[in-house]
Structure 1
Amino acid sequence: MIGLYVVGVVVVLALIIGGYRSRTDGRVREPRRGADAHPQERRLDTESLGADLGSEATFVQFSARVCAPCRATHRLLSEFTSAANSGTDSSRLAHIDVDAETRLDLVREFGVTRTPTVLVLDPHGAVRQRIVGPPRRADIAEALQRLGGVSSVRA
């Protein structure tokens, strides 16, 4: 009889954790700001990323080689980037993929605890949005809309 109670508790816990993850994965959030955080500490630049920032926004995706959702996220972000850059301004939106295993300095600085994590930067490299987990198309559109300038982009 005790075994059935244990199984029941495990099933309930699994359902709670699964429900939480499905509600929070891929959601757009404002970056966390601690009491002692300074906005200039939350910036990324061309030198630290090894690639140019977009003129209106940049996606910085933290990925790992063994992460299947990272590949799907990469494809989705690439679609948005291609759609945004199809006009006359080919650098409007940038997508930079960061290997979380080799760039531990950035992983620690930005508190990346799982992959994929996407930081949405403004034109100056300030982190404006954060998406943890595999985003949906609507989540990416929402992040761009919150940022302002690239809200008309649809992939």
Structure 2
Amino acid sequence: MDWQAALIVGLGLPALATAVGLIWRARTGRVRPTTTTTTDVAATRSASAAALGLADTDLGTAATLVQFSTDYCSRCPSTARQLTAVADGYEGVRHVEIDLTHRADLADRFHVRQTPTTLVLRADGTTTARIGGVPRLAAVRTHLETITRSPHVAS
């Protein structure tokens, strides 16, 4: 290989890796709204809870933060603590953590490719948002205020 090709490869690969890393970082933790339509609220709530392996009583009355995690995820415990604190700041919002270590069927059904992954469910059980990676808490609070129509309760 001549020196010009080596120079191009030597400068091009780090530049490409940096660009990919910056794009990945910008996308991780963002609240991505989902579009779901519902016709029967009770049936949707039951179907969502059943699909997740949860009872209706496990879901919040205003919203639910469903966190998918695994045993080997190093960021999942701190994410769970943060999401629990966020949920405690709103009336009727609950945080539920689902361990996917032995539930590959749920990972496939909900297209979980990284942990933590968080779903934000409305009171009727419909998914309103999805967050891949560690969530940006300010964006989670803003989204919760939008779907619950209530401000953050200072604790």
Shared topology, TM-score over 0.5?
yes
**How far apart are residue 24 of structure 1 and its match?**
0.8
Letter of the 2:134 partner, please give it.
P
Aligned: 1:48 with 2:70: no
**How far apart are residue 80 of structure 1 and its match?**
1.1
2:64 to 58, 79, 82: 58
Contact 2:35/2:128 (<8 A) preserved = no
2:14 to 11, 19, 22: 11
Letter of the 1:8 partner, please give it.
L
1:78 to 81, 84, 95: 84
What is the TM-score of this pair, normalised by structure 2? 0.79
CA distance 1:65–1:4, change in 2 (3 Å):
farther
Contact 1:80/1:153 (<8 A) preserved = no
Q: Work out the percentage of aligned pairs sharing the same amino acid.
A: 32
**How far apart are residue 101 of structure 1 and its match?**
1.9
Larger radius of gyration: 2
Task: Please state whether the residue corresponding to 1:130 is helix, strand or coil.
Answer: strand
CA RMSD of aligned residues (A): 2.5
**How far apart are residue 79 of structure 1 and its match?**
0.7
Aligned to 1:140: 140
CA distance 1:110–1:32, change in 2 (3 Å):
farther
**How far apart are residue 30 of structure 1 and its match?**
1.6
Aligned to 1:67: 73
What is the TM-score of this pair, normalised by structure 1? 0.79
Task: Please state whether the residue corresponding to 1:144 is helix, strand or coil.
Answer: helix
Q: Tell me how far apart the structure 1 counterparts of residues 154 and 19 of structure 2 sit (CA, whole Å).
A: 34
Q: Tell me how far apart the structure 1 counterparts of residues 66 and 72 of structure 2 sit (CA, whole Å).
A: 18
Q: Tell me how far apart the structure 1 counterparts of residues 22 and 88 of structure 2 sit (CA, whole Å).
A: 33
| Structure 1 segments unaligned to the other structure (5+ residues) | 86-91
Q: Tell me how far apart the structure 1 counterparts of residues 146 and 102 of structure 2 sit (CA, whole Å).
A: 30
Q: Tell me how far apart the structure 1 counterparts of residues 75 and 15 of structure 2 sit (CA, whole Å).
A: 26
Contact 1:118/1:132 (<8 A) preserved = yes
Task: Please state whether the residue corresponding to 1:49 is helix, strand or coil.
Answer: coil
Contact 1:119/1:130 (<8 A) preserved = yes
Letter of the 1:96 partner, please give it.
V
**How far apart are residue 29 of structure 1 and its match?**
0.7
Contact 2:145/2:151 (<8 A) preserved = yes
